[in-house]
Amino acid sequence: MTSDPTGTGSAAPDDVQPVGIQRPKGLFGVADTGDTSGFGGLVQAQPTAGDLVSTPEPLGGYFDEVVAALRESLGDDITRACVVDRGELTIHIAPDRVADVCKTMRDDESLRFELCNSVSGVDYPDQRNRLHVVYHLTSMTYRRRVRLETAVGLEHPVVQSATAIYPTADWQEREAYDMFGVVFEGHPHLTRILMPDDWEGFPQRKDYPLGGIAVEYKGAHIPPPDERRAYK
């Protein structure tokens, strides 16, 4: 028997998982090993691929003020979804509205998100719009943090650039382009930044093939990456 993962007061057998709960395998898809990363013991809800469910409003804290100010400036339809998870707010927006949203987030007196900390690319291969771009913003005036997120498909992976509003996004958008193939419309110099200019493909997409050689240690052997990575 396992401990109670649902909080209902009853334990579940090892081979039975509660509805809506999925227990991933260990690091690199390995199961039943001495994985010490903690990932092997992770239990989390797994929404259906492609689903985007807003957190019911009011969101709580300063989150409602931020969303209200953004909608007042750009219209109620500017937010595709507002999700609060583990005390953090993610505002999902359309890829062709990134520049407008970022300018409002920076310049609106009630928002004042002056800093873009980072720009990240994410690949969810089971989703139709599988390439996501995430902007982490900080208001130093009000000591607040917000995440903006947008998603595009492989057939048209175009997102508005935020570089004109947040210069710190320059190299980070180039990295997202280099690693994931997201094209940032309006970027002043969108070229590869980590890989050679003539490199083919985008190495951090989940379907990118891994090569490599086995690693030899004294008395141990680790297979090459393409033999030990798994996403399913």
For the chain, the C-alpha Rg in angstroms (whole number) is 21
Q: To the nearest 10°, the Cα dihedral for 27, 32, 35, 40?
A: 60
Q: Which range (40-49, 72-81, 115-124, 210-219) has the least confidence? A: 40-49
- Average pLDDT for residues 20-32, to the nearest whole number? 52
Q: What residue type is assigned to position 210 of the chain?
A: L
pLDDT bracket for residue 50 (50, 70, 90): low
Are the C-beta atoms of residues 58 and 51 closer than 8 Å to each other? Answer: no
> Which residue ranges form the domains of the chain, and what is each CATH number?
1-46 (no CATH), 63-185 (3.30.460.80)
- H-type alpha helices, the chain: 63-74, 98-107, 169-180
Mean pLDDT of 56-72: 96
- Separation of alpha carbons 9 and 206, rounded Å: 38
Indicate the pTM of the whole model: 0.73
Is 161 within 8 Å of 169 (Cβ atoms)?
yes
Q: What is the mean pLDDT of residues 59-65?
A: 95
Per residue in 155-209, pLDDT tens? 999 999 999 999 999 999 999 999 999 999 999 999 999 999 999 999 999 988 8
